[in-house]
Amino acid sequence: MPFLGTTGGGSVKQYGGQANLGYFIKNSLRFRASAGGYLNRTFSSGDQQKFTLSLWVKRGNSGINRIFTCGSSGSSYFQFRFDSDDKILISSENPSLLLNLGTSQLFRDYSAWYHLVLAIDTTQATPSNTVRLYVNGTEVTSFSTATYPTQNTNLLVNSNIAHYIGELSYALTNGYDGYMAEINFVNAQQLTPSSFGKTDAATGQWIPKKYLSTYGTNGFYLKFADTSGITAATIGKDSSPNGNNWTPSGISITAGSTYDAMIDSPTLSGAASNYCVMNPLDAKGTATLTDGNLTIASAGATHRNRKATFMLPSTGKWYWELTTTSTCSASVILGWGLQTTSAPTNATAGDVGTFMGQNDANQDIWNETTNVLSTGIAVAANAIRQVAYDAGTGKLWFGVNNVWYSSTDLTSGNPSAGTNQCITLSAGDYFPTVSPYNMTANVNFGQRPFSYTPPSGFVALNAFNLP
């Protein structure tokens, strides 16, 4: 289930009749492994025996994903990462193997935000106290591999070398794909999660709180709030008193599908929230998801289906967009897939005939097995394809570049007025669904700016907007 977090700002939700007010994270940064996205900074010499790293992460894909690394070679490094088996690995060589911890627990909820705290103090006499890992406020105590550093060991972290966020420091391979937010690094202290989060009294969920103490020599706080540029002084700005800015690489703030300054967040407010993405765990065929699960590609001559992480409620009005970088000489089917007990096919999200979509090669609209509208006109490359769905009435509209289809033509649909819909869906549990055919599609549920203002009354698909 998505991490809902807390609420606040100008909009407050109720849990059990109690308003839940707290600390809010408004920004995150998307790291696209496909673009080699990372941040780097060369540290000054600091305490190499004690440090704490706290951050919130939302995974984009499985496989090796580097979170925080430093070092110059495979025999001289430190790394904190998700491993290829969806476990977390903490390891260090300097030059021999000093530290090697691999969790037994798997972390493969791609709809959720995780709070990770890595707290190290090699001056501790008890080995298991030297390296402590916490996930969502709870300490991880079960490890499939466990090699702890000897007492008073100096690790490479906080030495005078380049440190990386989202990439392997010495090879630039197997970079992180997904989102990071609220990164705090504290030098010379081994802290607990209570410095950065707390349990919400109303929901029982682990939620963030602002870190209020000192940072130490190399300490920093990245909140990714300045989206005016992609420099160390803007998107990589350190908001601690230290001014330890980080240099971005492979990060974009160009409008469109490469825009990486997100409002996907582990807290729940009108300004930012946990957003829907495509689901790596619910798929048919060999469709590939990348770019924080917002890019879907099929290299084969058949449709490859992916559903999104959020199921639509039975009320509310919902809007999302999709683009492709080429003219649809093949096709991309988009729409709502019905959740059923049967397995999906390549082109449908459930039983045959339950997929509602738009065949962009011919601007066809299909309602189950019925062709509602066909024009024979292809959609141009980079056109903005739009979907608007009124769950209360079942009315569904498709549009291109803010011109909305009806069931009879390409111009008279009017979701703002609730008239001239393409299709009226029967009652059911629907998911946003995409099925490309030998092409790549980029999805936007609102975690980056929409290309067009949603029709009146329609909102982005995020946890805050869910009823």
304 and 209 share a domain? no
Phi, psi for 9 (deg, rounded to 5): 65, -135
Q: Is the peptide bond before 454 cis (omega within 30 degrees of 0)?
A: no
Average pLDDT, the chain: 88
Is the residue at 3 inside a domain? no
**What global pTM score does this model have?**
0.93
308 and 163 share a domain? no
241 and 293 share a domain? no
Q: What local confidence, expressed as pLDDT, does residue 5 receive?
A: 36
| Burial environment of residue 131 by CB neighbours within 10 A (0 to 12, 13 to 18, 19 or more) | buried
19 and 165 share a domain? yes
Between residues 186 and 329, which one has the greater pLDDT? 186
Q: What local confidence, expressed as pLDDT, does residue 462 receive?
A: 97
d(CA 375, CA 11): 43
Tell me which H or E stretch contains 186: strand 178-187
190 and 75 share a domain? yes
The mean per-residue pLDDT over the stretch 385-407 comes to 94
- The last residue of one of the domains, among 233, 262, 291, is 262
d(CA 6, CA 287): 34
- Split into its structural domains, the chain has a count of 2
Is the residue at 456 inside a domain? no
Report the 10 Å Cβ neighbour count for 104. 12
Q: Is the pLDDT of residue 14 over 80?
A: no
Q: Which of 6-20, 162-176, 260-274, 425-439 has the lowest mean pLDDT?
A: 6-20
Joined tokens for residue 464: 């805050």
Amino acid at 115: H
135 and 170 share a domain? yes
Q: What local confidence, expressed as pLDDT, does residue 350 receive?
A: 53
Q: Is the pLDDT of residue 103 over 90?
A: yes
Assign residue 34 a region (left: φ > 0; alpha: ψ between -120 and 50; beta: otherwise). Answer: alpha
375 and 239 share a domain? no
d(CA 140, CA 102): 10
Phi, psi for 460 (deg, rounded to 5): -70, 155
Is the residue at 452 inside a domain? no
Joined tokens for residue 119: 């707290």
- The last residue of one of the domains, among 218, 234, 262, is 262
Q: What local confidence, expressed as pLDDT, does residue 298 receive?
A: 81
147 and 282 share a domain? no
Q: pLDDT band at residue 341, thresholds of 50, 70 and 90?
A: low
Half-sphere exposure of 444 (CA within 13 A, CB side): 24
Task: List C-alpha distances in Å: 310 to 197, 406, 429, 462.
Answer: 26, 26, 10, 8
Task: Name residue 266's beta-bridge partners.
Answer: none
233 and 290 share a domain? no
Q: pLDDT band at residue 283, thresholds of 50, 70 and 90?
A: low
Q: pLDDT band at residue 329, thresholds of 50, 70 and 90?
A: low
223 and 316 share a domain? no
The mean per-residue pLDDT over the stretch 346-365 comes to 63
Q: Which of 307-311, 364-368, 406-410, 454-458 has the lowest mean pLDDT?
A: 364-368
Between residues 286 and 203, which one has the greater pLDDT? 203
The mean per-residue pLDDT over the stretch 177-192 comes to 98
Per-residue model confidence as pLDDT tens digits over 191-243 = 999 999 999 988 899 999 999 999 999 999 999 999 999 999 999 999 999 99
The mean per-residue pLDDT over the stretch 330-343 comes to 66
Tell me which H or E stretch contains 130: helix 127-130
User: Which CATH number fits the domain that encloses residue 303?
Assistant: 2.60.120.920
Is the residue at 57 inside a domain? yes
Q: What local confidence, expressed as pLDDT, does residue 406 receive?
A: 94
Q: Is the pLDDT of residue 65 over 60?
A: yes
Residues of the chain with pLDDT > 90: what percent? 68
- Tell me the residue range of the domain where 181 lies: 14-262
| Burial environment of residue 126 by CB neighbours within 10 A (0 to 12, 13 to 18, 19 or more) | exposed
Is the residue at 9 inside a domain? no
Q: pLDDT band at residue 381, thresholds of 50, 70 and 90?
A: confident
244 and 358 share a domain? no
The mean per-residue pLDDT over the stretch 117-129 comes to 97
The mean per-residue pLDDT over the stretch 290-314 comes to 86
Helices vs strands, H then E, count in the chain: 1, 35
User: Which CATH number fits the domain that encloses residue 147?
Assistant: 2.60.120.200
Q: Is the pLDDT of residue 293 over 60?
A: yes
Is the residue at 271 inside a domain? no
Give the list of residues 6+ apart from residue 463 with CB closer than 8 angstroms, or none.
2, 3, 4, 5, 268, 273, 274, 275
Q: What local confidence, expressed as pLDDT, does residue 61 receive?
A: 86
Q: What local confidence, expressed as pLDDT, does residue 94 receive?
A: 84
Half-sphere exposure of 429 (CA within 13 A, CB side): 10
Per-residue model confidence as pLDDT tens digits over 415-449 = 999 999 999 988 878 888 888 877 888 999 999 99
Task: List C-alpha distances in Å: 41 to 36, 69, 163.
Answer: 16, 11, 5
d(CA 345, CA 169): 41
Q: Is the pLDDT of residue 21 over 70?
A: no
Joined tokens for residue 47: 């305490």
Is the residue at 1 inside a domain? no
Is the residue at 149 inside a domain? yes
81 and 107 share a domain? yes
- Tokens 């606040």 sit at which residue? 8
Give the list of residues 6+ apart from residue 365 with CB closer than 8 angstroms, or none.
358, 359, 371, 372, 373, 374, 398, 405, 407, 422, 423
